Amino acid sequence: MNNKYELIYEGKAKKVFTHDDSDKVIIEFKDDATAFNALKKAKFEGKGRLNCQISARIFELLIKKNIPTHFIKLKNENTMIAQKIKVIPLEIVLRNTAYGSLCKQTNIKPGTVLEKPLIDIYLKNDALNDPLITKDRIQLMNILSAKDLDYVINLTLKINKILKSFFRNIQLNLVDFKLEFGYDLKNNILLGDEISPDNCRLWDLDQKNDMIVSLDKDRFRNDLGGFIEAYSEINRRINNFI
């Protein structure tokens, strides 16, 4: 990154830099992959570029459908320009199909299609290992007002409808995903972070048998191999469709 831009924040998968305009930031997508709160770490050449390109296409799709997001435009292969936001320290997970932690913490069988989308909210705090949090605790901690929490939940449900149908068109089952939101300088709530195979579970529908074929970060989490191939396949399908 051009050194006239200052690093504001470095996360596990992205770096955030200042921009010439004080209300904007530059986000650089890294090649690092982490899982289980960074207990597991690796680098995959090309991951940053793929997640940046995939996220950009998906943000563009959501913006067309009137979802407020932080995305402004791509800057280059692995960087984008976004609105500066104050990130709300919550991870909003929506599940259409039971998998992952839901099946570890309950007796619901992996692969069970849920009657209606389930929203699970986690406190974004690595030191506490991102615990599942209740609406009352969110209020208690003054993280969000009841009104803003309802707004974020309704926006997540709306985003699910758009993404589910989009991914179905490219033969992918959107099993679950995690979103993050933030306040811009005018106090509007915007969808932030990224939307990529890092934070969405995507299963291939182009399958002749009932086997689960994950085209997402579960390839890394569960040592399935073919990580970059899976991310490239998602990118290829999106570009062929749009």
Instruction: Give whichever of 178 and 219 is closer to ligand TMP, judged by the CB atom.
Output: 178
How far apart are CB 104 and ligand TMP at their closest, in Å?
Answer: 8
DSSP annotation of 150 = H
Residues between 123 and 142 that touch ligand TMP (CB under 6 A): 130
How far apart are CB 22 and ligand ASP at their closest, in Å?
Answer: 29
Chosen from ligand TMP, ligand ASP, none, partner binding at 129 (C-beta under 5 to 8 Å by type): none
Residues between 160 and 199 that touch ligand TMP (CB under 6 A): 176-178, 199
How far apart are CB 91 and ligand ASP at their closest, in Å?
Answer: 9
x/- string (CB under 6 A) for ligand ASP, residues 88-127?
A: ----------------------------------------
Q: 153 — alpha (psi -120 to 50), left (phi > 0) or beta? A: alpha
226 near 197, Cβ under 8 Å?
no
| C-beta neighbour count of 159 within 10 angstroms | 21
What are the residues whose beta carbons fall under 8 Å from the beta carbon of 50, sequence distance 6 or more?
196, 228, 231, 232, 234, 235
Residues between 144 and 163 that touch ligand ASP (CB under 6 A): none
How far apart are CB 217 and ligand ASP at their closest, in Å?
Answer: 6
117 near 160, Cβ under 8 Å?
yes
Instruction: Give whichever of 177 and 203 is closer to ligand TMP, judged by the CB atom.
Output: 177
What are the residues whose beta carbons fall under 8 Å from the beta carbon of 165, sequence distance 6 or more?
none
Among 16, 54, 93, 191, contact with ligand TMP (rule: CB under 6 A): 93
Torsions phi, psi of 69, nearest 5?
-130, 165
35 forms part of the interface with ligand ASP (CB under 6 A)? yes
Instruction: Give whichever of 108 and 189 is closer to ligand TMP, judged by the CB atom.
Output: 108
37 forms part of the interface with ligand ASP (CB under 6 A)? yes
What is the side-by-side strand order in the sheet with 181-183?
Answer: 86-87, 181-183, 189-191
Bridge partners of 74? 80
Residues binding ligand ASP (CB under 6 A)? 12, 34-38, 217, 221
